[in-house]
Amino acid sequence: MPDAVKQITLSLVNSQEQKLTVWLFTNVRNAKNIQQQLVAGSLEPELAFINALVVPDLLIVHAAAQKAMAAHLRGSLRTRSLHAELVYNIAGSKHVGQSLQRFGISEDSKSILVASFHTGDPDAGRVRSIVEGESVGLDTLSSLADMDTVKKFYKIVPAELEVGTVADAICCRIAASHC
């Protein structure tokens, strides 16, 4: 599919007209390098790097981003930055360290979802220059996902899948994680 959408911009409800743009990369070769930059905090402006294997649907990223944005606007972030908060929120748990470890990237990550909060136009060129990998269409996200790991991380039970999709189940956990 040559015309597959390689970047998607999601609109967010907020007062600063910020949007979220998402890219998907496979066969990434420099995950270790990116991770070092993240830890050092030297990426400016910041980006969020997500382990694409455990995110089966964009709805999950959207819900987590909106939640992060709400916390950002109220000044109640639980992590260092808005972008880190996005990765943390995707996990739908209260445990920051474990969330970043599971849903952020690791040294040997091959498939990476990159997300950026921005106003105006997204800087796609910069993202491509940072990530050494193959930019692929976001419609491949669901086929990349490792469903066994997803179900294990989110503790999704079979009964739950009778009343909705995996994305629905995860969305509920993200919403309810601080209740």
For other proteins, the closer CB: 16 or 36: 16
CA distance 126 to 132: 11
The residue to which tokens 């649907």 are assigned: 57
Q: Which of 6, 32, 46, 59 is in the footprint of other proteins by CB under 8 A? A: 59
Kindly state whether residue 94 participates in binding other proteins, applying the rule CB under 8 A. no
Q: Where are the beta strands (DSSP E) in the chain?
A: 7-11, 19-26, 48-51, 112-118, 134-136
Interface size with other proteins, residues (CB under 8 A): 29
- Cβ 175 to other proteins, closest distance in Å? 4
Of the listed pieces 20-28, 47-55, 63-71, 93-101, which binds other proteins according to CB under 8 A?
63-71
Q: Which of 10, 77, 100, 124 is in the footprint of other proteins by CB under 8 A? A: 10
49 strand-pairing partners: 114
Of the listed pieces 42-50, 97-105, 135-143, 165-173, which binds other proteins according to CB under 8 A?
165-173
- Cβ 144 to other proteins, closest distance in Å? 22
CA distance 175 to 28: 31
CB-CB contact of 19 with 106 (8 Å): no
Q: Give the β-pairing of 7-11 and 134-136.
A: unpaired
CB-CB contact of 114 with 74 (8 Å): no
- Cβ 37 to other proteins, closest distance in Å? 30
Of the listed pieces 43-51, 66-74, 80-88, 109-117, which binds other proteins according to CB under 8 A?
66-74
